C-alpha cells in the first residue's frame, strides 16, 4: 500500500463554488416540485445558471422567475407556471434553505475528507520514515556483525601474537638460566681437561724414559722429581669431576628436551610429578636465595599437554619468585583424590592486594613495569588449565602469601 490517498478519493477544493446540479445531489427534486405543485396548484421550472431546465416543466413565458443564490452567488432560478414574483420568491427561499443544508454538508464532508487525507498522508510519511529507519538499522546491524567479527579476528590475532611473544620471552628466560647452568660445569671441565693435558705430557715423558731402558734408580728419581704420585691421584680426581660435570650437563639437556615439548600439539599420558621436577630444575637459577620445596605425592599419569602444563608451572613459580623478590620459600605440592589431580604452588610473598585479585586473569592486566610483563601470563595459564577441563584457583592473603591451585580432572584411559 503506497501512494497518496488523493489519487483514490475525489478531491474538491474547499473554496470550490458548487453549481445547482451539485447542490441538488441527494435531493429528490421531482418529488419536491410535485409537493410544491400540490401546495400551490401550479407547475414549476427549475433552471440552472445557464437557464437550462434542471427539473420540472418547460414553461412558455418569458418570466425569468426568482434567483436562487447560495454563498452570495446566483446558481439558478425557479419559476412558477403563473407569473407571480411572490410565489417565485417563496419557492426560491424554500429551495435555498434545502440547498444551503446540502452546501453545509458538502463543505463539512470535504473538510473531513481533507483532514482524513492529511492524517493518512502523515501516517504514510511516518510509516515510510519508520521503514527507512528500520532499513538503516538492519543495515547497521548487518555491518555491525561483520565489524564485530573483524574486530574479534584482529583481537584474536593480536592475542596469538602476544601469546607467542610471551612464549618467546619465557624461552629467553629459560635459555639464560640454562646457559648459566651449563656454563659452570663446562668451565671446570675445560680447566680440568687443560690440567689433564699437562698430566698426559708428563706421563708420555715418563713412558719415554721407561722405554729408554733407564735404571730403576733413574726412574724412581724422575718419578719423585715429577711428583708423579700427585699427578696420578689428581688425574683420577679430574676425570671423576669432569664426568660428574658432563652428567650434570646431560641432565640439564634432558630436562630441556622434556620441557621443549611445549610446542608439541596433542596430549599424551604424562606424570605431572616428573614435569614438576623438570620445571623446578629449570626455575632454580631464577630463585636467587629463595628456596624451592617439592612435596610430591605419587599421582596417576594424566592425559595432558605436558609441555603446556610445564609452562603454566614455570610461569607460576617465576611469578612467585618475582613477588618474593628472591627471598622466601615456594612450596610445590601435588596430590590426587577421587577423579582430580591437584598441584599447589604456595609462596610466602607479600600476597595479592584485594583490588587486584579479581583482575589477575584479565588479558593485558599487569602490575609489572612496562616491558617486563605483557599481562598475558596468567591469562594464558588459565586458558591452558581450562583447555584441560580443569580450574586455576587462587587464594591470597596480603602479608602472608599466595597459593595457586591447579585442578586437573583425571580421565581414565579408554
Partner 1 sequence: MAELDEKKLKLTVKLVYYGPALSGKTTNLIRLHDVLSPELKGEMMTLETQNDRTLFFDLLPVGFRAPSGLLIKFKLYTVPGQVAHDSTRKAVLSRADGVVFVADSQSTQGVNNAESFNNLAENAQRVGLDFDRLPLVVQFNKRDMPNIVSEEEVEKRWSRTPWKVVYSSALSGMGVGETFNELLRIVYADLNDKYALLSDHGTNEALFLESVMGGLSE
Sign of the C-alpha dihedral computed for residues 167, 173, 179 and 184 taken in this order: negative
Which residues inside 282-311 make contact with partner 1, applying CB under 8 A? none
> In angstroms, what is the minimal distance from the CB of 109 to partner 1?
10
CB of 104 or CB of 386, closer to partner 1: 104
Binding-site residue total for partner 1 (CB under 8 A)?
17
Q: Looking at 1, 14, 265, 370, which residue binds partner 1 (CB under 8 A)?
A: 14
CA-based nearest residue to 275, from 304, 249, 244, 240? 304
Nearer to partner 1, 126 or 146 (CB): 126
Burial of 324 (0-12, 13-18, 19+ CB in 10 A): buried
> Which of 39, 111, 179, 253 is in the footprint of partner 1 by CB under 8 A?
111
Q: Which of 7, 15, 60, 263 binds partner 1 (CB under 8 A)?
A: 15
Give the length of the chain.
Answer: 414
Closer Cβ to partner 1, 104 or 136, answer by number: 104
Stretch that binds partner 1, among 35-43, 107-115, 126-134, 298-306 (CB under 8 A): 107-115
* CA pair distance 80, 96, nearest whole angstrom: 16
Say how far residue 72 (Cα) sits from the centre of its chain.
77
The verdict on 114 binding partner 1 (CB under 8 A) reads yes
Q: In the block, which residue shows the cell 621443549?
A: 260
93: contact with partner 1 by CB under 8 A: no
Q: If phi over 0 gives left and psi between -120 and 50 gives alpha, with beta otherwise, what is residue 308? A: alpha
How many Cβ atoms from other residues are within 10 Å of residue 249's Cβ? 16
Closest by Cα among 362, 383, 384 to 373: 362
> Cβ closer to partner 1: 111 or 193?
111
For the chain, percent helix, then strand, then coil, each to nearest 5? 60, 15, 25
Minimum gap (Å) between residue 71 Cβ and partner 1: 5
Q: x-or-dash pattern for partner 1, window 336-365, by CB under 8 A?
A: ------------------------------
Q: Where are the alpha helices (DSSP H) in 212-305?
A: 216-225, 228-259, 272-283
If binding is defined by CB under 8 A, does position 104 make contact with partner 1?
Answer: yes
Among 30, 51, 119, 325, binds partner 1 (CB under 8 A): 119
DSSP string, 328-395: SEEEEEEEEETTEEEEEEEE-SS---TTTGGGTTSTT---SPTTT--S-HHHHHHHHHHHTT-EEEEE
* The one segment of 109-117, 218-226, 285-293, 404-412 that binds partner 1 by CB under 8 A: 109-117
Q: Which of 312, 313, 310, 330 is nearest to 321 (CA)?
A: 330
Q: Which of 108, 144, 165, 175 binds partner 1 (CB under 8 A)?
A: 108
User: Minimal distance in Å, beta carbon 50 to partner 1?
Assistant: 12
47-86 residues near partner 1, rule: CB under 8 A? 71-73
Under the rule (CB under 8 A), what is the footprint of partner 1?
14-15, 17, 71-73, 100, 104, 107-108, 111-112, 114-115, 118-119, 122
Amino acid at each position: 500500500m503506497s501512494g497518496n490517498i488523493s489519487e483514490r478519493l475525489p478531491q474538491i477544493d474547499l473554496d470550490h463554488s458548487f453549481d445547482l446540479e451539485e447542490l441538488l445531489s441527494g435531493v429528490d427534486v421531482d418529488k419536491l416540485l410535485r409537493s410544491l405543485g400540490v401546495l400551490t396548484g401550479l407547475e414549476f421550472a427549475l433552471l440552472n445558471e445557464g437557464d437550462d431546465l434542471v427539473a420540472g416543466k418547460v414553461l412558455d413565458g418569458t418570466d425569468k422567475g426568482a434567483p436562487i443564490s447560495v454563498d452570495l452567488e446566483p446558481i439558478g432560478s425557479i419559476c412558477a407556471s403563473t407569473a407571480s414574483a411572490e410565489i417565485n420568491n417563496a419557492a426560491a427561499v424554500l429551495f435555498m434553505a434545502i440547498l444551503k443544508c446540502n452546501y453545509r454538508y458538502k463543505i463539512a464532508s470535504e473538510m473531513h475528507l481533507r483532514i482524513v487525507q492529511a492524517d493518512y498522508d502523515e501516517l504514510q510519511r511516518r510509516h515510510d520514515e519508520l521503514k527507512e529507519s528500520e532499513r538503516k538499522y538492519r543495515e547497521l546491524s548487518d555491518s555491525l556483525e561483520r565489524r564485530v567479527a573483524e574486530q574479534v579476528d584482529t583481537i584474536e590475532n593480536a592475542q596469538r601474537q602476544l601469546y607467542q611473544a610471551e612464549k618467546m620471552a619465557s624461552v629467553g628466560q629459560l635459555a639464560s638460566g640454562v646457559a648459566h647452568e651449563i656454563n659452570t660445569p663446562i668451565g671446570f671441565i675445560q680447566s680440568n681437561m687443560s690440567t689433564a693435558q699437562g698430566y698426559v705430557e708428563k706421563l708420555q715423558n715418563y713412558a719415554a724414559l721407561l722405554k729408554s731402558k733407564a735404571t730403576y734408580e733413574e726412574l724412581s728419581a724422575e718419578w719423585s722429581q715429577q711428583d708423579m704420585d700427585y699427578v696420578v691421584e689428581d688425574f683420577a680426581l679430574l676425570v671423576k669431576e669432569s664426568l660428574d660435570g658432563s652428567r650434570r650437563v646431560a641432565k640439564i639437556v634432558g630436562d630441556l628436551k622434556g620441557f621443549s615439548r611445549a610446542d608439541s600439539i596433542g596430549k599424551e599420558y604424562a606424570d605431572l610429578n616428573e614435569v614438576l621436577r623438570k620445571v623446578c630444575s629449570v626455575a632454580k637459577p631464577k630463585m636467587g636465595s629463595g628456596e624451592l620445596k617439592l612435596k610430591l605425592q605419587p599421582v596417576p599419569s594424566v592425559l595432558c599437554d605436558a609441555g603446556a602444563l610445564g609452562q603454566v608451572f614455570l610461569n607460576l613459580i617465576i611469578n612467585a619468585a618475582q613477588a618474593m623478590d628472591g627471598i622466601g620459600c615456594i612450596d610445590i605440592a601435588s596430590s590426587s583424590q577421587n577423579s582430580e589431580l591437584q598441584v599447589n604452588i604456595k609462596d610466602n610473598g607479600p600476597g595479592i592486594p584485594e583490588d587486584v585479585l579479581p583482575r589477575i586473569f584479565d588479558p593485558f592486566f599487569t602490575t609489572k613495569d612496562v616491558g617486563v610483563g605483557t599481562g598475558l601470563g596468567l591469562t594464558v595459564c588459565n586458558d591452558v588449565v581450562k583447555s584441560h577441563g580443569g580450574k586455576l584457583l587462587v587464594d591470597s592473603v596480603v602479608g602472608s602469601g599466595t597459593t595457586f591451585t591447579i585442578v586437573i580432572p583425571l580421565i581414565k584411559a579408554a
